[in-house]
């Protein structure tokens, strides 16, 4: 597995992906100065170490590929490798529902994040983002599949197993500080963190904070998306959706 370095430490990239809380302070310092980390899998064409973008997600930080440098990483060793063909295909046009931008994904979802609960209109809830008629909108499953591909999780790098920590880190890096239906991605989509016993309190606090930002008034009900590792499926009673969400394992992608 490739080694990465930042703020004076050199560690395996999967250690950072699996334990983002352990490296949060060093990554935060490196993000401030010099503004990037290094991947040590291979030097770039000029013999220098490759840079890695450091992206913030809540209180944590994740390493992402530096724009257009995917082909320089080691194809066998490094999860940040992307072939030139794959990298070239990622250019998007303005009518696409899911667009790549330098800071992350810009998505128009075929589902509303704000639903009128009185005088409900199916037409409004199906397309209420107001971002223009010419742009296509992605269904939830299509969005999930595309995020998986953008995070390079459809490519197996030869490791015997892959933890949710790695999946989480790659998904968060792909989403970046993007937009979903015009709103900041991190405000409306919560990616559950890899569970660690000693981080349980902050994981629950982060999730509660996300749920707390989803407001419901008598007239309008807001919605958010949760992306996490599916551990079990349980039948729910018709209890309020937020209390169900607190009790159950995070689902793969569903409204809260």
Nearer CB in complex with Zn ion: 63/97: 63
Helix then strand then coil, in percent of the chain rounded to 5, is 30, 25, 45
Q: Quote the least distance from Cβ 65 to Zn ion, whole Å.
A: 8
Please compute, for residue 40, the number of CA atoms within 13 A of its CA located in the half-sphere on the CB side.
Answer: 11
Burial class of residue 255 (count of CB atoms within 10 Å of its CB; 0-12, 13-18, 19+): middle
Q: Quote the least distance from Cβ 127 to Zn ion, whole Å.
A: 41
39's CB contacts (< 8 A; 6+ apart) are 2, 3, 4, 13, 49, 50, 51, 52, 63, 73, 78, 80
Nearer CB in complex with Zn ion: 78/105: 78
Nearer CB in complex with Zn ion: 84/141: 84
Nearer CB in complex with Zn ion: 50/105: 50
Q: What is the largest CA-CA distance in the chain?
A: 63
Q: Quote the least distance from Cβ 145 to Zn ion, whole Å.
A: 25
Residues in the chain: 256
Q: Quote the least distance from Cβ 155 to Zn ion, whole Å.
A: 14
Nearer CB in complex with Zn ion: 37/227: 37
Nearer CB in complex with Zn ion: 14/206: 14
- Please state, in angstroms and rounded to a whole number, the distance separating the CA atoms of residues 248 and 245: 5
17 neighbors 166 (Cβ within 8 angstroms) = yes
- Please state, in angstroms and rounded to a whole number, the distance separating the CA atoms of residues 70 and 44: 10
Q: Quote the least distance from Cβ 50 to Zn ion, whole Å.
A: 6
- Contacts to Zn ion by CB under 5 A: 2, 39, 41, 73, 78, 80
Q: Quote the least distance from Cβ 77 to Zn ion, whole Å.
A: 7
């Amino acid at each position: 597995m490739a080694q990465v370095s930042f703020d004076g430490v050199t560690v395996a990239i999967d250690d950072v992906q699996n334990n983002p809380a352990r490296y949060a302070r060093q990554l935060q310092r490196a993000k401030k100065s010099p503004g990037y980390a290094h991947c040590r899998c291979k030097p770039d064409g000029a013999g220098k170490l490759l840079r890695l973008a450091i992206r913030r997600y809540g209180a944590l930080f994740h390493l992402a590929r530096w724009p257009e440098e995917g082909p320089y990483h080691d194809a066998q060793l490094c999860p940040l490798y992307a072939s030139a063909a794959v990298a070239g295909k990622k250019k998007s046009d303005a009518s696409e529902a899911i667009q790549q931008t330098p800071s992350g994904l810009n998505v128009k979802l075929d589902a509303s994040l704000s639903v009128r609960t009185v005088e409900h209109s199916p037409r409004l809830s199906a397309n209420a983002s107001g971002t223009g008629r010419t742009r296509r909108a992605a269904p939830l499953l299509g969005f999930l599949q595309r995020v998986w591909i953008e995070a390079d999780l459809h490519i197996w790098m030869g490791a015997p197993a892959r933890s949710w920590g790695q999946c989480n880190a790659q998904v968060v890096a792909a989403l970046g500080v993007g937009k979903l239906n015009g709103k900041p991605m991190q405000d409306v989509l919560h990616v559950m963190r890899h569970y660690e016993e000693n981080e349980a309190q902050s994981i629950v606090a982060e999730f509660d904070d996300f749920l707390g930002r989803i407001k419901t008034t008598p007239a309008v009900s807001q919605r958010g998306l949760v992306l996490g590792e599916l551990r079990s499926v349980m039948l729910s009673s018709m209890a309020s959706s937020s209390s169900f969400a607190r009790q159950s394992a995070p689902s793969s992608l569903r409204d809260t």
